[in-house]
Chains A and B, each alone.
Chain A
Amino acid sequence: MNGAGLSSRIAETAARLLSEGRAEVVIGFEQGSIPMRATPCLITDSADAGRLIWNAFCSNNLAKYLVPGRKSAIVAKGCDSRAIVELVKERRLKREDVVVIGVPCRGMADPSAIAKRFPGICVSSVDETDGMLTLHGGPEPVSVPVSEVLHASCRLCAAKNPVICDIPLGDPVVENDPGFPDVEAFAALPADERCARVEAEMSKCLRCYACRSACPLCTCESCFADSSQPQWVARGTHPEDVLAFHVMRAMHLAGRCVECGACARACPTGVDLSIFNRRLAADVAELFGSRAGLDENAPQPLAAYSMDDSQDFILDPGRNSE
C-alpha cells in the first residue's frame, strides 16, 4: 500500500477512535511547512483527523509525545513501538492508556541525503509511489528510491514492523536485522583514530540538548546535565564537559535506547551519537542477550543481574594478570 492509501486509513482510524472516546488525543504526522518534512501533530477533534498523513518523511519518534495518564492513540512504526514497550516497562505509561496504530515502515528518507544526491535542486514538492520519490523543483522532475536515501538509523533498523500493535494498518514488511556493522567498523579503527573521531564529533556539539528533547527514552524529570548540586558537568562547550555529557547520557540509555536515531536527526550540527548508543546496544545484546523494545516481557538489562554474568573483564592477579 502506498502513502496516500495509508494516510486516509490513518485519518479514518483516528476519527473513529476520537468519536468513540477510545482516545483523547491521536498522535500522528501532518505535512510540514516545507517540502520533505512531516511534523508531529496532536489531533483532539475528529473533524481535524484529515490533517494526518503518512509518507517517507515521518521520521520523528512519536513516543516522545505520550503523556502519562492521558488516553492516547499513536501512529507507531517499529521504532516508536519499541520506545512504547520500554516506557511501559519503566511504568512511565500504562499499556491500557495507549492505542497503538501500527504502521510497518521500510525506513524514512533523509532530506539531507536527498540534498547531497541532487545538489542543484531546491525541492518544491515530492510525490511518492511504491517506494519511489519524485522530486519537483529542478528543470526536470527527478526520481530516487527511498531505500537509497534512508536515514543512517533506518539502514540499520532491527524492527520495521511494530512490536506491539492494537490496530494494524498496511502490510507487514520483511524484517532484516543487519546487526552492528557500524560498531564493528568503528571498533576496527586504531585507538588514536577513534579518539580523533570522537573529539571531532564532540567539537560540533553546542549543548543545545536537542538530542535529549527528541529522545523518547530521555524521560527523567530532572536531568543530571541541569543539576547544579552536584554539578556533574559544567554547562558550556568545554570538550571534556561535552564528552562527559554524552557518555553519561549514553550510559543512562544503556539497554533502553531503541536505536531510532531521533537524537542524531534532531542534532542541528550533525553530531554522530550512534558512536555511543550503538556500541552500548551491541554490548547489551552480546553480554546480556537483550535488545531494547523488542520483548515486552524481558526485564531491562541494567535493572537485572545474574550470578552467571560474564566477568572476563575483572582483574584477577595470579590468573589473568600476565
Chain B
Amino acid sequence: MTDTDKNAAWEPRIVAFLCNWCSYAGADSAGVGRMQYPASVRVIRVPCAGRINPFFILSAFRRGADGVLVSGCHPGDCHYISGNLGARRKFALLGRLLGHLGLEEGRLHFTWVSASEGVRFAEVIETVTAKVRELGPARRSAGGGR
C-alpha cells in the first residue's frame, strides 16, 4: 500500500465543540434539513462557547483529533449575553499561541453558527474537513498520544 493509498483511506477525525443554544441547534437543523456533510466530526455539546476551557482543545488534540472546531452563537446572540465575546478574546490568543508553538494553520478553527443556519453548519464542516484532509493525519508528539 503506498502512502497515497493510505491517505485516500484515511478519514480525518475532527472534534467539534458546539454551544447548546446556537451551533448545536444549527447542527440539528442541518440534520433535519437532510443536508449532506462529511461524517468526520465528533460533536461535543457545551453550554456556551464561554464554557470552553483552552484545555479542552489541547486534550482533543492529545487524544488523537486531527482537527478541532469550536462554534458558538454569533456576537450579540449569546444566550448568556456575552459568553461568546469573552471566549472570542480567549480563542484569539490561544489560536495564535498554538500556531506560534508549531501547530499547523488549519487544524484549529473557530466559527459562529446560529440555530437557523443549517446550511452554514454543513459548509463549515465541509471547509474544516477539506483543510484538515489537506494537512493529513496530525503529527503525534514524541511518546505518542493516549
Q: Is the CB of B102 within 8 A of A279?
A: no
Assess whether B97 is in contact with A186, with CB atoms less than 8 Å apart. Answer: no
Pick from B4-12, B22-30, B39-47, B120-128 the stretch touching chain A.
B120-128
Q: Does A220 contact B (CB under 8 A)?
A: no
From B75, B109, B139, A315 is in contact (CB under 8 Å) with B109
CA distance A314 to B62 in the complex (A): 23
> How many residue pairs, one in A and one in B, have C-beta atoms under 8 Å apart?
114
Which chain A residue lies CB-closest to B101?
A198
Evaluate contact between B127 and A280: CB separation under 8 angstroms. no
Residue from the list A187, A248, A310 in contact with B100, Cβ < 8 A: A187
Q: Is the CB of A238 within 8 A of B58?
A: no
- Please tell me if the beta carbons of A275 and B92 are within 8 angstroms of each other in the complex: no
Known contacts A240-B143, A284-B93, A313-B92, A279 near B111 by CB under 8 Å: no
Cβ of A247 and Cβ of B109 under 8 Å apart?
no
Assembled-state Cα–Cα distance A194/B86 (Å): 29
Chain A proximity of B94: nearest CB distance (Å): 6
Complex Cα distance A250/B89, Å? 15
In the complex, which residues of chain B have a beta carbon less than 8 angstroms from the beta carbon of A316?
A: 111
Tell whether, in the assembled complex, residue A251 and residue B54 are in contact, meaning their CB atoms are under 8 Å apart. yes
Contact in complex: B100, A309 (CB < 8 Å)? no
The contact of A199 among B89, B98, B128, B142, by CB within 8 Å, is B142
Q: A247-B101, A275-B101, A311-B75 are in contact. Are A317 and B58 (CB under 8 A)?
A: no
Residues of chain A at interface, number, CB under 8 A: 45
Q: Indicate if A254 sits at the interface (CB-CB under 8 A).
A: yes
**Are A315's CB and B89's CB within 8 A?**
no
Tell me the residues in window 198-257 of chain A with beta carbons closer than 8 Å to chain B beta carbons.
198-199, 224, 232, 238-240, 243-244, 247-248, 250-251, 254
The chain A residues found within 8 Å of chain B, CB to CB, are 183, 186-187, 191-192, 194-195, 198-199, 224, 232, 238-240, 243-244, 247-248, 250-251, 254, 275-276, 279-280, 283-284, 287-288, 301-302, 304-307, 309-311, 313-318, 321
Beyond A243-B101, A279-B97, A288-B89, list 8 extra A-B contacts (CB 8 Å): A191-B102, A195-B139, A198-B101, A224-B55, A302-B93, A309-B88, A314-B112, A317-B127
* 20 A-B interface contacts by CB (under 8 A): A187-B100, A194-B101, A232-B55, A239-B141, A240-B62, A240-B145, A243-B141, A244-B58, A250-B97, A280-B93, A302-B93, A305-B89, A307-B75, A313-B91, A313-B95, A315-B110, A315-B111, A315-B128, A316-B111, A317-B123
